[in-house]
Amino acid sequence: MAAALRAAKRALRGELRQRLRALGPAEKQRQSRLLGLKVIGHPKYQESKRIAIFLSMPDEVQTEEIIKDIFKQGKECFIPRYKPQSNHMDMLKLSSAEDISSLALTSWNILQPGDDDSTREEALAGGGLDLIFMPGLGFDKKGNRLGRGKGYYDTYLERCMKHPSGKPYTIALAFREQICESVPVTENDVPIDEILYEDC
């Protein structure tokens, strides 16, 4: 059973990577801009004060404009720091949108605070989070998410559930090409509260 599930996930990841490779930069830009406007008008976003968001890789919805808006609205912004060779991730505070340019590039080509950067607040060491924007490779309309296979976000959400402020609301940002009929899941996969994409 577990082997069949792993194989199904692997096959779907391959198919989704192919779909994303076929998406041109202009189309990614167009859908990202549209989703940025959806986010800024979203009631959950408007009422949230402490927000975690990913710094996009080339095959993900671009989050730069949303990050700028978080600061414009006077909200607090947290970004992931992944620990390689583990499934541990922290959400560390950004001081401004410009702060991103001071971050180090990891071997995965992701910008994140360095391991020696101990000055930043970790969200769960403080007041927790109100909202997390989730990346992923694929999603279905029931809120199931297919990540890249490391389990960082599922593990982090488990930690959030133990925090006094409880589990934050989760919104996935997806290109419409990432919406699947159904995503294979295990009991460790935490469903997402809402998925934003062009046609929803």
Residues annotated in the binding site for substrate, as ranges?
55, 60
Domain count for the chain, please give it: 1
Domain that holds residue 38: 2-196
Distances (CA, A) of 44 to 14, 49, 66: 33, 10, 14
Tens of pLDDT along the chain (200 residues) come to: 588 888 999 999 999 999 999 999 999 999 999 999 999 999 999 999 999 999 998 899 999 999 999 999 999 999 999 888 888 999 999 999 999 988 988 877 888 888 778 789 999 998 999 999 999 999 999 999 998 888 899 899 999 999 998 899 999 999 999 999 999 988 777 889 999 999 87
Residue list, annotated binding site for ATP: 9-13, 145-153
Query: Residue 1 has what pLDDT?
Result: 57
Inter-residue contact 197 to 35 (CB < 8 Å): yes
> What's the pLDDT at 69?
98
Quote the CA–CA distance of 162 and 165 in Å, as a whole number: 8
Tell me the C-alpha distance between 99 and 105, whole Å: 13
**What's the number of CA atoms in the CB half-sphere (13 Å) around residue 73?**
19
Q: Which residues are annotated as a binding site?
A: 9-13, 55, 60, 145-153
What is the DSSP track for the chain?
Answer: -HHHHHHHHHHHHHHHHHHHHTS-HHHHHHHHHHHHHHHHT-HHHHH-SEEE-PPPPTTS---HHHHHHHHHTT-EEEEEEEPTTSS-EEEEEES-SGGGGGSEE-TTS-EE--TT--SSPBGGGTT--SEEEE--SEEETTS-EE-SSS-HHHHHHHHHHHSTT-PPEEEEE--GGGEES-----TTPPPPSEEE-TT-
Answer whether 188's CB lies under 8 Å from 164's CB.
no
CATH at residue 15: 3.40.50.10420
